[in-house]
Amino acid sequence: MLEAVIDELRLLTQALEATGAFALIIGFVIATSRCILEIKPLGATQAIEGYRQAIGRVVLIGLEILVAATIIKTVTFDPTIENMGLLALMVAIRTGLGWSMVLEMDGCWPWQKRSA
């Protein structure tokens, strides 16, 4: 019974890792295609600004999925102090990246009100 649950969790983490990678690749392709199509009607500046925001959202979503897979994998399969420390470091880096991307996209920190 326990072995079956562990096998299912392994499949889940592999599916989450694949989904995260797929989200990054497909998001990049869609954002790039959209930018290319919008350059002429919107102008290069506006199209590139939209592209930067789209890429930021794609990276945040992909990282969220990959972090979820890593949390499940670390806690379930190999919960050593070293792996927990690496997981904490990864979550801290992801949080820093998330904050900097929100600052880049919105022009303010996540805890600040958006300027009008």
- The pTM for the full model equals 0.76
Confidence of residue 101 (pLDDT cuts 50, 70, 90): confident
Which pLDDT tens digit goes with each residue over 4-52?
888 888 999 999 999 999 999 999 999 999 999 999 998 889 999 899 8
Is residue 115 a part of any domain in this protein?
Answer: no
Q: Round to whole Å and give the CA distance between 57 and 20.
A: 13
Is residue 67 a part of any domain in this protein?
Answer: yes
Is residue 55 a part of any domain in this protein?
Answer: yes
Is residue 85 a part of any domain in this protein?
Answer: yes
Is residue 64 a part of any domain in this protein?
Answer: yes
What tokens does 16 get?
């989450």
- Containing domain of residue 76, as a range? 2-106
Confidence of residue 78 (pLDDT cuts 50, 70, 90): confident
Specify the number of domains making up the chain: 1
Is residue 116 a part of any domain in this protein?
Answer: no
Is residue 45 a part of any domain in this protein?
Answer: yes
Is residue 102 a part of any domain in this protein?
Answer: yes
The pLDDT value recorded for residue 37 is 93
Confidence of residue 116 (pLDDT cuts 50, 70, 90): low
The pLDDT value recorded for residue 75 is 84
